[in-house]
Amino acid sequence: MEKNKKIFWGWYIVGGAFLVMGINYGARYCFGVFLKPMASEFAWSRSVISLAAAINMLVYSFCAIFVGRMLDRIAPRWITTAGAIIAACGYVLTGFVSTPLGLYISYGLMVGLGSAGMGVVACSSSVSKWFISKRGLAIGIASMGISLGTVTLTPLSGYIAGVLSWRAGLMALGAITLLIGVFVSQTLMRKTNPEAYGLLPDGDKTTIIHQSSASPAIHKVSTLTLFKDSRFWTLAVCQGLAVMISMSVFVHQVAYATDNGIEKIAAAASLAAISMTGFMGQFLFGWITDRIKDPKYGSFIGILFMLIGTILLLNVRTVSQLYVYALIYGFGYGSLAPILPLLVANRFGRHVMGSIYGLLTFFIGVGGAIGPVLGGVIYDHFGSYRYLWLINIFVLSCIALVILTLKKGKQYTKTGS
* Tally of domains in the chain: 1
How many whole angstroms separate alpha carbon 170 and alpha carbon 80?
20
* Whether pLDDT at 311 is above 90: yes
Q: Which residues form the domain of 359? A: 8-196+206-416
119 domain-assigned: yes
For residue 187, CA distances in Å to 21, 199, 264, 275, 311 come to 15, 19, 38, 26, 44
Question: What is the DSSP track for 166-191?
Answer: HHHHHHHHHHHHHHHHHHHHHHH---
39 domain-assigned: yes
241 domain-assigned: yes
257 domain-assigned: yes
- pLDDT value at residue 413: 60
How many whole angstroms separate alpha carbon 336 and alpha carbon 282?
8
* Whether pLDDT at 218 is above 50: no
* Whether pLDDT at 330 is above 60: yes
pTM of the complete model: 0.73
Q: Read off the CATH number of the domain in which 227 is found.
A: 1.20.1250.20
* Whether pLDDT at 266 is above 50: yes
54 domain-assigned: yes
162 domain-assigned: yes
3 domain-assigned: no
Nearest CA-CA partner of 303 in 287, 275, 323, 281:
281
Q: Is 211 exposed, middle or buried (0-12, 13-18, 19+ CB in 10 A)?
A: middle
1 domain-assigned: no
DSSP at 318: S
SS3 label, residue 218: strand
How does pLDDT run across 7-57, given as a tens digit for each residue? 888 888 999 999 999 999 889 878 878 888 888 888 888 788 888 888 898
How does pLDDT run across 100-114, given as a tens digit for each residue? 999 999 999 999 999
How does pLDDT run across 398-409, given as a tens digit for each residue? 999 999 998 876
What is the band of 195 on the pLDDT scale with cuts at 50, 70, 90?
Answer: confident
